[in-house]
Structure 1
């Protein structure tokens, strides 16, 4: 539960008042939250159901996609999830030091080089802590999770009882524009703040029982939903939509400052720093796990799965930290905005969400996935057999989650979909090398078609970059 809440309640909740108001009025925001709540809850249920139906698949989120659609699709989902986590890390750290820059001279948005150095130093310090083992990492995450929830709870109580105005909340209730367009605009922001609900599934191999994975997922989701909706909707009752939309990234601090004065802004800024630090720890843990799991399963070189004496996957953590460092340099040289990092990371996270939902649908309809990763290794031949009523319920959940994830791809900016395809292409190199070393067939026909689509989308992205028509 702490891993889910710690990774989900990160930077997004603190920028949520501004993000939501820039896209929608209170009425459309409520509709957007209702759709997101149902959609993301269905995705949470997908992971909970799969944890029960296929308890032997203990390699996290990517293992469901691999079992359902084959090696390469599973690998691409795991690789995309890893890259999304890397980009999220850079976004978290950027917001952390931009906020800290209001109080500490020499860092922040006006000092990009110093901020980049500070982000790099933080990344390597956390790597040093995580390399000491899973128990120490879990303790770090639990402490920061509890610490950051206190300022958020203070915000909700103070705004609800001291600053909320029903007249201000209802003054521009529908936002003065097409409601559907507003709802579509807010959807990616609501998805971003929910990213992390799969945290228990990613670490499912560490759980004592599979039931713990499902319970942690659902309880963590409901807790996060209550926090996010409270912060988002209460803010409309403090400032007008136009005022909220004009706030900086740490808009939650500005809202509380409008209610109780400067000390409220300082309190939330402290909460943001604690929250982002906690999310940074959580996501740097999650960064390494997909790489290590894919190495255990033979989809990446075995050395990526190396474990040190403390039980930490140090090789995967080291590679993740190095790539985070490279991404910091690229993004800071390119002056990439925090919001662009959010949208690109969200698109990459949607891939395992979409394919995990598809796998559940295939299980309920066919009893197995499309293709097994290796001859003689049956991924779908064990686990409890659900009753016909349970199977129908599981099918409904899978179809709802699949529809929601597909619609999110439709609603996403095409630029970030193209850049997402470009980002996963380098993973072909270690994947193909590993398959050739094992004397195994690299792609089947379905996988070859997927590779062709990715290469085509990546080529369009490169062409757009070269012509200046696409940029982050």
Structure 2
């Protein structure tokens, strides 16, 4: 689940996105920052799985345990919403990939035909998953293996044609690229690094299925290390194959363009097939995660009990229906976006940051309190430092994203509070504590500012 969730759409877009932002030097700095921050976050997930084995579906459950019911709800809803946006991005990428070969039909992935094809795919997967989670998870395993083959073939080809002189020319920024500071170069890569690391929590989300609790942490760390090495190689090797300006102008998925430059048209076809397999497999994994998050939140009474219902195959059917209805609506909305591809990618990244921040914050809290450290008190200091670094990293990512995306996040989160009201009314509980009321008020103000930005044209999706 970790590898299948992480190796999805983003990895095939790395050359073009990095090429437009920075040279190899900036890319190395960016991956050092992102790799360190995400490794610390992976360590927090590993620690929480060991210290709080009583908490399942950890992404939002940790937020609730540490910061109260409403923050737990926002984490669950935000994570679910981000997963839905990620699934929309997958379909846009499928359309963009097909648009490489049929430009008049699929365009950039947001044409009418592309949207219709996407909607058909969404509901085909929907009914596949309804037949049983285990069956779908098995398909995900097969697809995960299959989609790695094109990536390793591309890596081998790029290693064989490695041109040191070309790499050196691009190292501090290639010829013909606009002048900008190293800080801005690195900043422009930050959201894509967040996006490609999404899925690091895949084992934690499905922790209720683990036979041994330690396997959750082990899967998280091993999956992270393997996929990080793969992503860094896919980013850096194209700089040795072509000028940076050429990389920056590649159509997405840009790895197909890289291979086309090296070996000809068959390379683009080969990678495009890999993209389609990879994206469909990742979409399956994330559809499972979306439904599981809503289901687990409803089981813990953070969402309306309607979403805790399972069908005869043990699939959270109502949660799956809501997920795919929302994904379908977002897919339709891409028709009105100026750059649906990058907008959906960036929004997915920003939406994931809130749950990650709350998980890291909970890691700090349990280390300070000593919860779960009764037998290993010597680990508290080290774990607290790791968690604080993860907190700092997610806060830096919010700053790098910019105010526009933070306001848009609030626009999406605040209407979801209706589900929180619904769940609280079912249980006859008060809506907010005084601290939670302040959080809601701040989020409401931010959402109104974001809505005004959209209406006035100050924010353009």
- 8 Å contact from structure 1 (residues 361, 399) kept in 2: yes
Inter-partner Cα distance in structure 1 for 2:257 and 2:100: 13
Q: Choose which of 258, 272, 277 in structure 2 pairs with 1:274.
A: 277
C-alpha displacement of 1:142: 0.8
- TM-superposed CA distance for 1:442, in Å, is 0.9
- Alpha-carbon distance in structure 2 between the residues aligned to 1:467 and 1:190: 31
Instruction: Select 1:207's aligned residue among 186, 204, 210.
Output: 210
User: Partner of 2:125: helix, strand, or coil?
Assistant: helix
Describe the SS at the equivalent of 1:236. Answer: helix
Match of 2:33 in 1: 35
CA distance in 1, matches of 2:143, 2:98: 17
- What is the CA-CA distance between 1:366 and the residue it aligns to? 2.5
Q: Does 1:96 align with 2:99?
A: no
How far residue 387 of structure 1 moved from its aligned partner, in angstroms, is 2.4
For 2:183 and 2:209, the matched residues in 1 are separated by 42
Q: Gapped runs of 5+ residues in structure 2?
A: 174-178
How far off its partner does 1:310 sit? 0.9
SS in 2 for 1:208: coil
CA distance in 2: counterparts of 1:85 and 1:239, whole angstroms: 34
Mapping for residues 294-313 of structure 1, pairs under 5 Å = 294-313=297-316
Residues of 2 paired with 1:20 and 1:311: CA distance? Answer: 42
Cα displacement (A) at 1:449: 0.9
Distance, in Å, in 1 between the alignment partners of 2:170 and 2:20 is: 13
- Please list the CA deviations of residues 35-64 of structure 1 after superposition, one character each: whole Å capped at 9, or x if unmatched: 111110000111110000000001231101
Deviates further, 65-74 or 128-137: 128-137
* Whole-Å separation in 1 of the counterparts to 2:403 and 2:250: 27
| Runs of at least 5 residues in structure 1 that lack an aligned partner in the other structure | 369-382
Moved over 4 A (4+): none
Cross-structure match for 1:413: 402
Give 1:62's match in structure 2, choosing from 60, 63, 69. Answer: 60
Q: Which residue of 2 aligns with 1:183?
A: 186
Map Cα deviations across residues 227-255 of structure 1 (whole Å, 9 max, x no partner): 10010000111111111111111110111
**Within 5 A, what are the aligned runs for 1:279-290?**
279-290=282-293
The correspondence for 2:3, drawn from 2, 5, 16, is 5
Q: Is the 8 A contact 1:344 1:417 kept in 2?
A: no
Matched, 1:265 2:268: yes
Tell me how far apart the structure 2 counterparts of residues 61 and 165 of structure 1 sit (CA, whole Å).
Answer: 43
Give matches, 1:217-228, under 5 Å: 217-228=220-231
Contact 2:373 2:379 in 1 (8 A): no
CA positional deviation for 1:107: 3.5
Superposition deviation, residue 433 in structure 1 = 2.1
Pairwise CA distance, 1:10:
1.1
> Aligned-pair distance for 1:285?
0.9
8 Å contact 1:98–1:107 — kept in the other structure? no
Number of positions where the alignment pairs a residue of Structure 1 with one of Structure 2: 455
- TM (norm. structure 2) is 0.96
Q: Distance in 1 between matches of 2:237 and 2:388?
A: 33
| 8 A contact 2:305–2:423 mirrored in 1 | no
**Given the alignment, which residue of 365, 368, 393 partners 1:404?**
393
Aligned partner of 2:176 in structure 1 is none
Residue in structure 2 matched with residue 433 of structure 1 by the alignment: 422
Work out the CA distance in 2 between the residues paired with 1:185 and 1:103. Answer: 29
What is the match of residue 124 of structure 1?
123
Instruction: For 1:32-431, list aligned pairs within 5 A.
Output: 32-103=30-101, 107-109=105-107, 112-161=111-160, 163-175=161-173, 177-367=180-370, 383=372, 385-431=374-420
> Does residue 471 of the first structure (1) align with residue 460 of the second (2)?
yes
CA RMSD of aligned residues (A): 1.4
CA distance in 2, matches of 1:179, 1:334: 30
> Within 2, Cα distance between the matches of 1:386 and 1:83?
38
Q: Is this contact kept in 2: 1:60–1:205, CA < 8 A?
A: no
